[in-house]
Structure formats: C-alpha cells, structure tokens
Structure 1
C-alpha cells in the first residue's frame, strides 16, 4: 500500500476495519452476558502465527470462543478501534506503540499473551546487491526504512549500533510491503525488514544482509503481543483467560513444530509455500515473562521512548 503512513490512507484502512468489525457487535454477548465472539485485528506477519494456528487447530473453539480476525497493515491502525471497543484484541501488536499509548493515557493497555521474541535473522538490515554500504559502520547517517518511526525496529537497531559504537542512521517510515520497491528505486539506502518481507526482498532483489536484527544486545527481546484494554480484561475475565490459553497452546505448537507455522503462513500472508520453508521464524514464548518485558521497557526508557519507569507486571492479565 503506497504511502500507508499518510493520514488519508490510514483513515481509509481504519474505516474498513470498523465497518468489518461493527456488523456483529450486538451479537457478541450471549443471553447469560458472557461474550463468546471476539474480534481480533492482526498483521500479516510471522508474529501472528499463533493466532491463526489457534483458529485452524480448533483451539479457540475448544475454549468456547468464536474469533473473527481482521487483517491490518499496521497495528497502530487498529488502536482507535481497540480504544472504542470495536475490536477486542490486537494481535502482533508492537509493544512500543501500545506502551507509549498507555503512558500518555490514551489507552489503558493490558497484555493477554506474548506474541514473539527476537530470534536470529527474523529481521535484517538489507542493502541492494550493488550497494556501496559494505559494513555496519557505513550505516551512519544513511537512510534506513522502518515500518513506523520511533518504534521497535529503530529501538532494536539503535541498541545494536550503540553496542558497536556506530553512529545512528536517519530513519524513513515505509510500510513493510513497500520496502522492496523503495530499496529498488534508491529512495532509501537500506531497509530494516521483518519476515516474511525480509526473505521476499532478498529473493526478489537479491538484496544483501548487512546486519542481523536479532543480534546482541536485543536477542530474545519481546517485541509484540496480544493486547487488549483494562476495560475488556476486567469486564470479560473468563473470555480473556480463554483467549490467553488458546494462544499459549498455539505458541507451544509453534515452538515444538516450526513446520506448522510454515504451513500456516501462506494462508494469511503473501508468501508462497516454497518461501515459507526458508523463512527465519521468531521465538514463540508459551508464557508471558514480566522480567523479559522489563528488558524492553528499560530499553525504551533509555532511548527516550518512555518518560517514566514502568513495571510491565502491572499490565499482565492473569
């Protein structure tokens, strides 16, 4: 989607999201008041694999839930819908955006379950095959594409570069689907792409991996999760718990059987079955760890993305 960061396009996408989710809002409560129908916004990323596994393996059904999945291109697009109760959960929600919204008071965030943690080469800094950028040090001052400015990609890349003593690049906001074309047209010098876009750009453009985005000191860092609001978590505790159990069960499958994820990816992303076989997968934690989340909040505070100290344990839904 060209120019997905522009307000008009985001508004249009959000309008479609609300329209898709709003039709059955009145049907979501049973006669006893328990909500069995949940609306979940999700990105077409490897981060969302547990969500689709839970759907296709009948794990939601086992928990008595009827889950409708609404695809979005950026989790931030669904933030207003979550705040208004028009979606109940955002899957593959990047923590940075939602923790910032919580600190600002625009959203009372609760984390139902972890999505993924950083793993080797699940995201990479890519440069054109004939690029003059030969080393990580050459990134200093160069234009690097990230999906959203001042977010998880720049946060993690800054941490890696800081550890190497390399000056930071200049970030440009370009949606994941448009990173390949932007790199091909020399609109940026490099892209920081996540799977499945990482492998696709390498395959289509023969782009070179300059840097593993999962390198120290961000290895195993939590980067996304299944986020809801305090209002939903408090008002529907049984449904929240049921959703968490289904996701955790699916995450165990993803960890124990990576091929299950690879078989799932072509169903909700644009990758082919052949491409899915080569994709580097993130880590799918089966339980949410406040100590690991604290690594993220401390890094955010260090880079100025949070103004105050935050104890992530206070945000976890039990």
Structure 2
C-alpha cells in the first residue's frame, strides 16, 4: 500500500500543480491553441529550440503558441504527460515502459536515431574497479526508470552477472553525482551531458558505454487525444526539430556555446555530449517498436514492472 499511495500522491500533486499553475494553458491546449512541450534541460536539441523561438514562428500562422515545461528526468515528465500538464514529451527508452506498465495513457509519435555512446557506467578515476564483472556486490547509482536502467541490465548480463548481484541506488542525476563524488556509491550509470560533465570535471572513468549493448533511442510521446486532433502541429514540430538538428550537427561549437549557459555547463562539456548524440526525428518503424518491446520484456522478466505490456498498444492508430 505505501507504494500505491506514493504513486497516487505524486500524481495528485502534479495534477494540482497543473490546475493551479497552468489554468490558461490547459484551456488553450483543449482548443488546440497552445502546444505544451515537456522537456529536460539535458535534452540539448530541445533546449536549443526553446532558446531560438523557431518553433513558435512556425506555429504562429496556425494561431498556436508554445509553452515549455521543464522536468528533472523522464519518469517525472511521463507523470506530467499522464496528468495532462503537457501534450508532448521527449524521453529515453525506459521511462515510457515504466509509465505504460503503471497505466499511463500516451502514444509514441517519433524517435531520434540510436545514440549508444551517449550513456555509460562510470567509476571514480582512482577506483580499483576495472570491469563490469567487478561490480558484483557494489552500489550503483542510477535514475530509476531512465534509459540507463536498461544499460545496467544489459551490461551486467554480458558480464555474467544478474541484476540482483548489484545494489542499485535510485537517485536523480544531481543527487547521484554528489553521492558518486563523495564515495557513497561505487559506480554511476548516467547519460549525457551529465556523463560528459563528470568525465571532464572529475575525470570519471568509463567501464562501458552503450555500444554493442543498447540502442539508446530517444522518443517523442504525446497524449493520445492531442496526437489525434493535431497532426499538423506535430508535423510542424518535427520539421522544426529536423531543421534545428541539421544546424546543430553542422555547427557543433556554435551550438554548444548557445546551449552551455542554459544547461549551466561548460561549452566543452556540451560539445562533447553533442558529438555523441544523434538527431533527426522520424516516425517509429516496426523495427524500433520491436526493440522497445525487448526492453519491456526484459524489465518484466526482472520484475522491474508489475505486468507484461505491449508496445503496440501505445502506438498511434494507423491512418
């Protein structure tokens, strides 16, 4: 019961916040006059889009405004999407699976290309740990339900360990970094730009990144009704995202200089992270959906989610 009350409590708080803080936005969203985008500050492309105001210009002829709603990580963003605080969100692989298993209502509307190098398991520079196999019995910090949750599962599996062989310590990125640097945990599973930051600033050492283990796709999700009612808005969002992505990849140093102060990071850190991410949103293919189903099945097999789910149930209806 405590876990159920905790989950319901979080949703009620978010719902209340949405009611008290976004009354006009909610009304505008109902009539399609406002697009509310849930994003994380670590999502560099969306942070760039927000700063440039390019999407607002594309949507202005439709009479649609944009509201950017920031969340600390994917699981919290999915809670916001589920209670109606946002219309569209951008997250990694694992959060939608945990959210769907908890009954959240959303649809996948697109994904960015795989970026396996943009997440890794790291240890302090002076750690005696030299391989994933040596993590047996160790404490590993990670954000529960985030993309690195699956990275950890796969890395342990390849090293001949079970998930139960390690001690996961569930912390959001800021708290995880503090625990990592004071030695309260032995390793940290984390994504960029937090990964690039701890590598540069603390000389953290990678044990393994996502290559040959995970795809690390990033997904665009939408409230089902919003997606059905506003295909033109979504199309313009994707057109703008693609245009900004092309500029970013062709101008990494300049893009990093714009994004870095918005993320509170050094330009060099942001540029390193941008090099490891891939951008270019596309509609989900059956192959990408199948890879997402593999993650869902693995999580259910480890009892990380309470019931099996079908990714197909969270895909838009065929047009």
Report the TM-score when normalising by structure 2.
0.80
Q: Indicate conservation of the 8 Å contact 1:54/1:250, yes or no.
A: no
State the partner residue of 2:92: 94
Q: Indicate conservation of the 8 Å contact 2:109/2:315, yes or no.
A: no
Residues 1:141 and 2:137 are matched in the alignment? yes
State the partner residue of 1:229: 223
Residues 1:297 and 2:296 are matched in the alignment? no
- Pick the aligned partner of 1:114 from 111, 114, 135: 111
Please report how far the alpha carbon of residue 312 of structure 1 lies from its aligned counterpart in structure 2 after TM superposition.
7.3
State the partner residue of 2:126: 130
State the partner residue of 1:197: 194
Name the one with the larger helix percent: 2
- Pick the aligned partner of 1:241 from 235, 240, 256: 235
SS of 2:183 mapped into structure 1:
coil
Distance 2:33 2:250 in 1: 29
Report the TM-score when normalising by structure 1.
0.80
State the partner residue of 2:167: 170
Please report how far the alpha carbon of residue 174 of structure 1 lies from its aligned counterpart in structure 2 after TM superposition.
0.8
Q: Indicate conservation of the 8 Å contact 1:110/1:317, yes or no.
A: no
Segments of structure 1 that go 5 or more residues without pairing to the other structure are 1-5
Distance 1:13 1:147 in 2: 21
State the partner residue of 1:3: none
Distance 1:118 1:302 in 2: 20
Distance 1:60 1:116 in 2: 25
SS of 1:49 mapped into structure 2:
helix
Q: Deviations over 1:71-97 (max 9, x none)?
A: 111232243432332321222x23423
Residues 137 and 309 from structure 1, CA distance in 2 versus in 1: closer, same or farther, beyond 3 angstroms?
same
Residues 86 and 308 from structure 1, CA distance in 2 versus in 1: closer, same or farther, beyond 3 angstroms?
closer
State the partner residue of 1:314: 315
Alignment map for 1:1-318 (pairs within 5 Å)? 14=14, 19-28=20-29, 33=31, 35-45=32-42, 47-50=43-46, 52-53=48-49, 56=52, 58-64=54-60, 65-91=64-90, 93-104=91-102, 106-115=103-112, 117-120=114-117, 122-149=118-145, 151-168=146-163, 169-212=166-209, 214-218=210-214, 220-222=215-217, 224-259=218-253, 261-279=255-273, 280-290=275-285, 291-304=287-300, 305=305, 307-311=308-312, 314-315=315-316
Distance 1:317 1:74 in 2: 30
Segments of structure 2 that go 5 or more residues without pairing to the other structure are 1-5
Residues 182 and 152 from structure 1, CA distance in 2 versus in 1: closer, same or farther, beyond 3 angstroms?
same
Q: Indicate conservation of the 8 Å contact 1:233/1:317, yes or no.
A: no
Q: Deviations over 1:258-317 (max 9, x none)?
A: 445423422431212233233343111331332123212213213425614433783488
Q: Deviations over 1:100-149 (max 9, x none)?
A: 43344x222112332463232x1221111221212221012211111115
